[in-house]
């Protein structure tokens, strides 16, 4: 594990100190967990988007014309 120094606004630092105290953890651990959650969320989003784009089955009409908008919204 590596140490890092960050610069934050005073109000942000006050908030994170309170949050860490509520969770009975350190500011360092809380910020690390938040960054890990953000990374995992972003990775999951990118994977889901990549899978969706790669799924060409959802882009085919089976050579049939698509229904008209007014029929769908009938």
pTM for this one?
0.62
Strand, coil or helix: what is 23?
coil
Residue 65, pLDDT score: 85
C-alpha distances (whole Å) from 21 to each of 6, 9, 16, 24, 29 are 19, 18, 8, 5, 11
CB 46 within 8 A of CB 38: no
Locate the domains of the chain by residue range: 9-51
Instruction: Going from the first residue of the chain to its last (74 residues), give the mean pLDDT of each consecutive group of 10, the final group possibly shorter.
Output: 93 97 97 95 92 78 83 82
Provide the token pair at 73. Answer: 């919204």
Chain-centre distance for alpha carbon 35: 11
Taking the alpha carbons of 1, 18, 9, 36 in that order, is the dihedral positive or negative?
A: positive
Tell me what percent of the residues of the chain surpass a pLDDT of 90. Answer: 62
The mean predicted confidence, pLDDT, of the chain is 90
């Amino acid at each position: 594990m590596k140490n890092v120094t960050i610069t934050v606004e005073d109000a942000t630092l006050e908030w994170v100190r309170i949050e860490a105290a509520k969770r009975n953890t350190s500011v360092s651990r809380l910020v690390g967990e938040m960054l890990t959650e953000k990374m995992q969320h972003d990775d999951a989003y990118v994977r889901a988007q990549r899978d969706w784009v790669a799924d060409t089955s959802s882009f085919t009409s089976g050579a049939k014309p698509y229904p008209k908008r007014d029929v769908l919204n009938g």
